[in-house]
Structure 1
Amino acid sequence: MSGTLVGAQNRSTGNIDRITPRPEDPTTLRMPSSEQSELLATPCVTCREHHLKCDRSVPRCGRCVRAGRECKLGFKFKPSKGSFTRDQRWLKPPRTLIYIDETRGLSNGNATDDISQYDIPVDETHASDQRSSSSSATPPVSAHPPQHDDARNRPPVIVQGQPLPRDNGVFENERISASEVHIRREALEAKSTEPYDMRVRSTTYIPPPRNPLADNFPNIPNLPLKSRTEAVLFRHYIQKLAICLDLCDPLRHFELVVPERAGECHTLLNAIFAIAARHLSHTTDFDPLASNRYHDECLKYLIPMLNHASTVSDENMFAATIILRMLEEMDVPTTGQDNYSHLLGIHAFVNVGDQYMVPGSLSAASFWVGLRQEIYIAVITQQPVKLSLDHYVVDRSFEPTDDYTWSNRAIVLLADVLNFCFGGNPSTPSHWTALDEATLRWSTTRPPSFNPFFYRERTSSPAFPEVWHGSSCHVIGIQHHILAQLFLIQFDPSIPKVGTNRRAAVKQMTHRIEILVRELCGIGVCNQWTPPAMFTACMGIAMFGDQFGERSDQEALLDILKRTEAEHARPTAAIQQQLLRAWGWVPDDDE
């Protein structure tokens, strides 16, 4: 029987014990030769790091072969017994040595992870002692007793060449000598293992004055805020503006994730400052120029980066562009026009592809906000939606799912309707019928949670019914569904173009449009706790408000437009002027 005899070498006798025949295998380890005996004196580094017993086989030990790990040979160093000559040359160590603590890295199985560096000042008087005794640096010991909390138990990272800091942030002027390090280490090694040890030691430690907030807020400050004003802007974004972006997002990325990411992404942080400052300048007496400074800082980094593939796949930059687009919509009264600059940036991020738009991610949340922003422009300008809708996150089905997905389905359906109404391709009756059936099916299959918890029909005095909802996703879902119905009614191909039946068909169409617009505005007025409810109502007024002939109804519609601009910084002045001319309140040539 051909094979190889493999066994374990007895340390004391050098004999081979437990000889077992094994079949011939290319991975079978040979017995070491006499020249390799020195290498077997210590276990391999890999087994030592994993706290395993090594069989000391070469070139790879048996444990490393079976585990598929890299086997690093260990070496045993023997001290020299000879004496040094007088002309022996010694290296001069620097006055500051760096001690690298690999204990935590070794415990995790990686000697390079979580390595902290410490300054070890070396007194020149001890230099000769260290040259003759050892080349290893002595581990540093903190002057303060360690806390039981894991976060405080980690030694601080100190920049090389700088003095050691105290707990209160004031640096020591004096350096710690090597002898003091040894004394303090011995004192700490003798500490009690009992928690909250209150026994008095020979060396009494008096802690420095502590900040009473240090225990509750150990990471102050967490954001690179330069002033209280920036803190006010940051808070205003979270409390007042994020809700306008998280309408159909159960994870509330723009309220919870974006502020956290802003601590590391300065472009995102400046976008938050810019939108908050612009909103405050439109609704209060806040400095109107503050927003421009933060906006310019964003553009300084964002515009050059849009030409790089790595940038357009960065969801933080995507979210920043969404926020800046919201600011751009507010700037229309100031600039007099909408340049759609950031809307083009949104297109660049969306066109990257599905690989970066994972459901539940910040990129997916940004996509849905960008689609709603695109729909707003498409409605106001009466153009098709230019944002690509061929993405995995887009759902046009009617299968049971959560309410947020149902709302997004209504938004996609409205986008499809707008593309039908304002697209370049000629519309066909079959296409209109398919969209009309889709709106009917959405209404009949949606969850009952979309029903308002309070509804009251309009009477003679109020122009709109009372419609109370409890969730922003229900508000936006129903409103976008109403808008889709309105456009389909307006572009109904079954209405005669000419003939005796046209008058009756147009009258019926106008009556249906008035009912839906009243309901759309009633939802906006009764749910102002979510500002986009008013924005969406203004879209319906802009498109179909001219069909209201009663003065009281016209005044009620104007009131919604004025309140939206005054309280939510949304431009409606141009819409107001168009309606005043359509109603005959002002002459057509009056500027």
Structure 2
Amino acid sequence: MSPQTAPSKPRKPRPSRARGLRTTTGCLTCRKRRVKCDESKPHCGQCSRSERECVYAHAINTAAVHPESESNGQNTTCHATFSSLVSPTSVTGSASTRTLGDIDPQLYSESSELRFDLTPLTLTTSVPSPNSAPYEWYDLLAEDAVNNIRKHNLGFDSNILSRRQSPVPKAADDDGTASPDRDFSEGPSEEPWQSLEPIHMAEDDLALFQHFIDTVAPILDLFDPCRQFAHVVPRLAVHNVGVLKSLLAVAARHVGLSSSATIQKEALVQTPGSNASRHDSGDSTSRCPEVATRYYYETLQYLSQNLLYPSYTKSREILATASLISTFEMLDVSKKAGEGNWERHLRGIFWIQRSQDNNGEKRDALRRGVWWLWLRQDIWAAFQEKRRVLTIWRPKKRLMDLTSNELSTRILYICARCVDFAANEKQYDIGIRISQGEKLLQALDDWWQILPASFRPIYKTNNAGSEFSSKIWIHPPSHSAAVQMFHFARIIVLTNQPSVGGMLEYCQRQRLLDESVETICGIAMAHQGKDLPSAFVNFQALYAAGLCVQIPARQSAILQLLEATLDVTNFPPKTLLDDLIAYWRAAP
């Protein structure tokens, strides 16, 4: 064979950058950084020179790793922290010196927030069976509604809320369930509890309907790029009386919160369905609560009749209705935290979603949106009540596989775990509490380090003469809200984690707290802080920021920011300001 025709010697395949060039010996930090490690003990030369934490694989307690969970998709973030690596003298560590968040995401099977010890309050009490969950939820609503009718002499017939009838028999080909992951068309199916033709609405109803779409839905859809409450729920409402009545109840209650609502209040003077002549516009504001309450009781009446259909108890419509009822109750600004029925009814919605196996990763976008909205509400309620969040679900997607919008909702889940940590359950010894706090701080760091550029500020403007250095604008608003929730969660952990360190650890922790306060206030001061959906997240973050501020001038600045934000949201009650002032006065 001539030299021209001789086959060339095959070239050795070059390993991919993702795996083949990664070292398999040395410390884990060098393996992640793809640099040569001299394997010096206890700290290699590379880590010593760069002041990074040096961790070797054999130092990890392999019993804490669960390889089987990766096959089940449980690895949602890239890295794991282990209690065996936490020492009492280096608990919080600064973000610049702690590098466990830089470890190769393929090395471990579970992330920090997934390994947090979960024993929600719901698991310590009786939980209804999946078939009875909708009825148990409704009984909670009806019991409290009847008590309110009698206590406040509301003029409603409480008998309409009774569900004494026998359940409607299932059709022979109907198993009473709806597949939560199937695709849904925009049109209604042939169910007895659905209207094939759009439900007629009077002019009053249409005005409220428009207000919901334009003003209320963006609040509920802040973390949902598909905007289910703006686009899908109104379509369900025009074919289902329960969804429609609950939607109008929420809209009417929201109009009643503000004197500067975006629709003409004189259109709301009439009681829904009445033909009475309209009063002057000055009376319209006072009538909004009455209108909202009547819609609410009409929703409960609808539920009392249609829970008899097994297919309805598994439907998207009941999920949407439950979410709207919860929002209606949440907006009751006459009640302080823990005084109303809203917090109790959140447990009922948990039962319904559990009965439908609903969670934040369902293929059906509406079911996902309902779940994340419920979690947002339960996070705030649990934080105020100092209890654990009700969810027992754990994400399956890995952090590295999430889209930017999914990263925004993932921080809600991590935040829920941080609220769990802050709950009034102090039966753990100090070592366990420190270890749990460190895992959550690591989970927050993991999330922060993987964020794309869209979570970074578009600009920062100097804020001369203010207690806080700059205004911070992050766009889109959902990413800004996610950053606020990150700092809200970090403050919760840092202020509840025990410390046995010295002055250095105290200074490191205080630096992180100051950084979170600056960011929270900077975002709240930016023009997007006046945006209604963003304001519903800002007030939570500002309240948490106030909990860790000790300088009177900064306390006064946060109080002003929080008051301005509550003027935008008209929720929660201004008594939240009094709670913060009382907390400062009680502080040593």
The answer to whether residue 222 in structure 2 is matched with residue 247 in structure 1 is: yes
The 1:412–1:272 alpha-carbon spacing in structure 2 relative to 1, beyond 3 Å, is same
Q: Residue 486 of structure 1 aligns with which residue?
A: 491
Mark the CA change 1:396 to 1:537 in structure 2 (over 3 Å): closer, same or farther. farther
Deviation at 1:344, TM superposition (A): 2.6
Q: Which residue of 1 aligns with 2:482?
A: 477
Deviation, 1:395, is: 4.5
Distance 1:399 1:507, change over 3 A: closer
Shift of 1:494: 3.7
Q: Give the alignment partner of residue 451 of structure 2, picking from 441, 446, 460.
A: 446
Q: Which residue of 2 aligns with 1:467?
A: 472
In the alignment, the residues of structure 2 paired with residue 308 and residue 563 of structure 1 have an alpha-carbon distance, to the nearest angstrom, of 47
SS in 2 for 1:289: helix
Residue aligning to 1:513: 513
- Number of residue equivalences: 357
CA distance in 1: counterparts of 2:460 and 2:325, whole angstroms: 37
1:382 maps to 2:386: yes
Q: Deviations over 1:174-207 (max 9, x none)?
A: xxxxxxxxxxxxxxxxxxxxxxxxxxxxxxxxxx
**8 A contact 1:351–1:388 mirrored in 2:** no
Structure having greater relative contact order (Cα 8 Å, sep ≥ 6): 2
In structure 2, C-alpha distance between the alignment counterparts of 1:384 and 1:582, rounded to whole Å: 21
Please state whether the residue corresponding to 2:399 is helix, strand or coil.
coil
Write the distance in 2 (CA, Å) between the matches of 1:528 and 1:515.
19
**8 Å Cα contact 1:408/1:477 also seen in 2:** yes
Measure how far apart 1:352 and its partner are: 1.3
Structure 1 residue 401, shift from structure 2 partner? 3.0
Residue 579 of structure 2: aligned partner? 578
Q: CA deviation at 1:258?
A: 0.6
Q: 1:307 to 1:565 in 2, by over 3 A?
A: farther
Q: What CA deviation, in whole Å up to 9, does each residue of 1:399-423 have, x standing for no partner?
A: 1432111111111111122223327
Q: 1:581 to 1:432 in 2, by over 3 A?
A: closer
Identity in percent: 24
3-state SS of 2:334 partner: helix
Name the amino acid aligned to 1:557: I
Match of 1:352 among 312, 333, 355: 355
Which residue does 1:232 correspond to in 2? 207
**1:386 partner SS:** coil
Does the residue aligned with 1:528 lie in a helix, a strand or coil? helix
Q: 1:256 aligns with which of 231, 240, 245?
A: 231
Q: Which residue of 1 aligns with 2:405?
A: 404
When structure 1 is superposed on structure 2, of 412-421 and 350-359 the one drifting more is: 350-359
Q: C-alpha distance in 1, partners of 2:446/2:322? A: 35
CA distance in 1, matches of 2:474, 2:358: 36
Q: Residue 512 of structure 1 aligns to which amino acid in structure 2?
A: L
Match of 1:75? none
Contact 1:330 1:571 in 2 (8 A): yes
Q: Is residue 346 of structure 2 the alignment partner of residue 343 of structure 1?
A: yes
Provide the C-alpha distance between the structure 2 equivalents of 1:373 and 1:472, rounded to a whole number of angstroms.
18
Cα 1:460–1:273 change in 2 (3 A) is same
Cα distance change on mapping 1:490 and 1:462 into 2, 3 Å: closer
Question: What is the one-letter code of the residue matched to 1:319?
Answer: A
Which residue of structure 2 lines up, in the alignment, with residue 120 of structure 1? none
TM superposition shift of 1:254: 0.4
Q: 1:555-570 alignment to 2 at 5 Å?
A: 555-570=556-571
Tell me, in whole angstroms, the C-alpha distance in 2 between the residues paired with 1:489 and 1:457. 28
The CA deviation at 1:335 is 7.8
Tell me whether 430-439 or 305-314 shows the greater mean CA deviation.
305-314
| TM-score in terms of structure 1 length | 0.55
2-structure distance, mates of 1:303, 1:371: 26
In structure 1, the residue matched to 2:438 is 433
1:371 aligns with 2:372: no
Local SS of the residue matching 2:578: helix
User: In the alignment, which residue of structure 2 is the partner of 1:73?
Assistant: none
Question: In the alignment, what sits opposite 1:77?
Answer: none
Using the size of structure 2 for normalisation, the TM-score is 0.56
Q: Which has the larger radius of gyration?
A: 1
SS in 2 for 1:399: helix
Where do residues 158-307 of structure 1 align in structure 2 (5 Å cutoff)?
223-226=199-202, 228-284=203-259, 286=285, 287=287, 288-302=289-303
Displacement, 1:283? Answer: 0.1
- Structure 1: how far apart are the matches of 2:440 and 2:310? 36
**Alpha-carbon distance in 1 for matches of 2:439, 2:311:** 40
Is the contact between residue 418 and residue 440 of structure 2 (CA under 8 Å) also seen in structure 1?
Answer: yes
Q: Please tell me whether the aligned partners of residues 271 and 324 of structure 1 are also in contact (alpha carbons under 8 angstroms).
A: yes
Q: Which residue of 1 aligns with 2:128?
A: none
Q: Which moved more, 1:268-277 or 1:540-549?
A: 540-549
Distance 2:439 2:335 in 1: 42
Offset, 1:375: 0.6
1:270/1:297 contact within 8 Å kept: yes
Cα distance per residue 1:94-142 (max 9 Å; x no partner): xxxxxxxxxxxxxxxxxxxxxxxxxxxxxxxxxxxxxxxxxxxxxxxxx
List structure 1 runs of 4+ shifted beyond 4 angstroms. 303-309, 504-508
Change (3 A) 1:554 1:430: closer
The Cα shift of 1:342 comes to 3.4
Three-state SS of the structure 1 residue aligned to 2:400 is coil
5+ residue gaps, structure 1, are 1-220
CA contact 1:243–1:530 (8 Å) conserved in 2: no
Shift of 1:445: 1.0
How far, CA to CA, are the matches of 1:334 and 1:539 in structure 2?
17
CA contact (8 A) 1:312 1:348 kept: no
Structure 1 Cα separation of the partners of residues 331 and 390 of structure 2: 21
- Whether the 8 Å contact between 1:464 and 1:519 is mirrored in structure 2 is no
Relative to 1, partners in 2 of residues 1:300 and 1:478: Cα closer, same or farther, differing over 3 Å? same
Q: Secondary structure at the match of 2:571?
A: coil
Tell me the CA shift for residue 451 of structure 1.
0.9
SS at match of 2:460: strand
Q: Distance in 1 between matches of 2:321 and 2:363?
A: 19
Q: How big is the shift at 1:222?
A: 5.0
Distance 1:303 1:557 in 2: 46
Pair 349,274 (structure 1): closer, same or farther in 2 beyond 3 Å: same
SS at match of 1:276: helix
